[in-house]
Amino acid sequence: MIHSWSDPGRSVTPPGADRLESSEDQLVTEYGEYCRRQARRLVSLLPREAIRPLYRAACEDSALTTEPNDPLGLLSAYCARLLPLPPFDVWLEDVRNHPEAYLAELMDTADAPTALAPATIETRSLSRKEGAWVARLRGFRDADVWRGFIAFEDEGSRTVHRTALIFREGDPRDLRRRFLGFESATLEAFLRSSLP
């Protein structure tokens, strides 16, 4: 940990170094979102005449337990099983080594994160005398721009406090660069502003 110059009781992990300190549940959720995007991308590439037979095959697959009133969900789940997607551990290692590639993939998909379902773009740790926090940059596409906010999770109580929409960039990679560019004092100021 690198200690803050203003208070030796606080520290911030160097930017980008602690992506893996996200909770296991959060990482599993991100992996699931990645798999769904890849499956929907496959569906979007298929000619129309290939979709109906693929959907019939998905309906006949008894291993899928998707709601019957969600045809796209059923088709996507089936396609995710057909695709040679990396297992969770391989995906996680690749995200660690090539985060920019995954952000570029978000730019190119029609299934981009929305305000109701933002994506976690980057994670940083923040330690204070009162305890440890995880700062997650959450972002989504809004028309032709990307907007973002920081969600701070108290590692002890698991309560989450978030900022207002403080980022507006043309690309999720720019959101990430700005977030990683914050010094520890700036990140802590955002945390204080989000607390009740």
Residue-wise pLDDT for 58-71, tens only, equals: 888 766 655 557 77
Q: Which amino acid is at 31?
A: Y
Q: Which helix (H) or strand (E) holds 90?
A: helix 88-97
Q: Is 160 helix (H, G, I), strand (E, B) or coil?
A: strand
Per residue in 69-109, pLDDT tens?
Answer: 777 778 888 888 889 999 999 998 998 888 878 777 777 66
Predicted TM-score of the model (pTM): 0.64
Residue carrying the six token digits 């980022």: 167
Per residue in 139-180, pLDDT tens?
Answer: 998 888 999 999 998 887 888 999 999 999 988 889 999 999
Question: What residue ranges do the domains of the chain occupy?
Answer: 2-194
Q: Which amino acid is at 27?
A: L
